[in-house]
Amino acid sequence: MNTKKYTAEAIGTFWLTFAGCGSAVIAAGFPQVGIGLVGVSLAFGLSVVTMAYAIGHVSGCHLNPAVTVGLAAGGRFPTGQILPYVVAQVIGAIVAAGLLYVIASSAPGFDLTKGFASNGYDAHSPGKYGMVACFITEVVMTMMFLFIIMGATHGKAPAGFAPLAIGLALVMIHLVSIPVTNTSVNPARSTGPALFVGGWALAQLWLFWVAPLIGGALGGVLYRWLSEEPAGVVEGVRTA
């Protein structure tokens, strides 16, 4: 049992969810000095960069069920390890959302019905985008995310730069898709906040599992077909 790897994935996904969703819940709209859409996008990207350097050599730093599934589809990760990785990621995200709730709810005027950084479609999309548009967005964004991950971690890619390429890709993804779905591309990140919001967030959570998993698998398969050789690494992101 690879306890250290699973623990690393839980810690890493905790950091991604706490830092990313925390930036949206606590800092995005703070009066006069709020970080806004760009700031939230950077927070998610930087959370991946920092954790990739911290735990990439331990677990591969997936932090995302769609990444784990995509890497397996691309021949980079053993299928037998998918479930424990996903469980660890979801646990990390739930713990992060719980801690974020404790902190955020202590502020005057906190309102859980504002969404708590949950993902949604139709009336719960920031830009009121429909379900089909949101589904397509999540599939395409996650597919491209995996494509970049596969390329950046390839054995022939420049050593040491994978975390930067992957983190910047996540920033770009958020810059485009926050208005559409509030950006998931990560079922674990979506699950944590949804459990606290309940109601509509849980009812719509299916899309933010199904679409990213499909997109991740497509990205992994596409790059596997495109690339001459399967991989330079087995588990995902490595810093060197």
Q: Please state, in angstroms and rounded to a whole number, the distance separating the CA atoms of residues 219 and 163.
A: 18
Establish if 231 belongs to a structural domain.
no
118 neighbors 124 (Cβ within 8 angstroms): yes
pLDDT above 70 covers a percentage of the chain that reads: 94
Tokens 């996650």, residue? 142
- In tens, the pLDDT along 55-91 reads 999 999 999 999 999 999 999 999 999 999 999 999 9
Establish if 240 belongs to a structural domain.
no
Tokens 């006069």, residue? 32
What pLDDT is recorded for position 193? 97
Mean pLDDT of the chain: 93
Q: What is the mean pLDDT of residues 103-117?
A: 91
Q: What is the mean pLDDT of residues 141-147?
A: 98
User: Of the given ranges (5-9, 31-35, 40-44, 160-164), which has the lowest mean pLDDT?
Assistant: 31-35
Establish if 91 belongs to a structural domain.
yes
- In tens, the pLDDT along 176-235 reads 999 999 999 999 999 999 999 999 999 999 999 999 999 999 999 999 999 866 444 444
Establish if 111 belongs to a structural domain.
no
Q: What dihedral do alpha carbons 197, 200, 205, 208 form, nearest 10°?
A: -100
Establish if 37 belongs to a structural domain.
yes
Residue count of the chain: 240
The Cα diameter of the chain in Å comes to 56
Q: What is the mean pLDDT of residues 160-166?
A: 93
What pLDDT is recorded for position 228? 66
Give first-to-last CA distance, the chain, whole Å: 25
**The CATH number of the domain where 201 resides is what?**
1.20.1080.10
What pLDDT is recorded for position 235? 46
User: Of the given ranges (88-97, 106-115, 142-151), which has the lowest mean pLDDT?
Assistant: 106-115
Q: Which domain holds residue 193?
A: 3-106+116-226
CB-count burial class (<10 Å; 0-12, 13-18, 19+) for 110: middle
Number of domain units in the chain: 1
- pLDDT over 80 at 164, yes or no: yes
pTM score of the predicted model: 0.93
For residue 174, give Cα distances in angstroms to 20, 21, 114, 131, 170: 10, 12, 19, 18, 6
What pLDDT is recorded for position 81? 95
183 neighbors 192 (Cβ within 8 angstroms): no
Q: Is the dihedral of CA 35, 166, 47, 80 positive or negative?
A: positive
Q: Please state, in angstroms and rounded to a whole number, the distance separating the CA atoms of residues 126 and 121.
A: 8
What pLDDT is recorded for position 157? 81
Q: Please state, in angstroms and rounded to a whole number, the distance separating the CA atoms of residues 95 and 116.
A: 14
- pLDDT over 70 at 236, yes or no: no
What pLDDT is recorded for position 240? 32
Establish if 31 belongs to a structural domain.
yes
Establish if 234 belongs to a structural domain.
no
Establish if 9 belongs to a structural domain.
yes
- The tokens for 88 are 């660890």
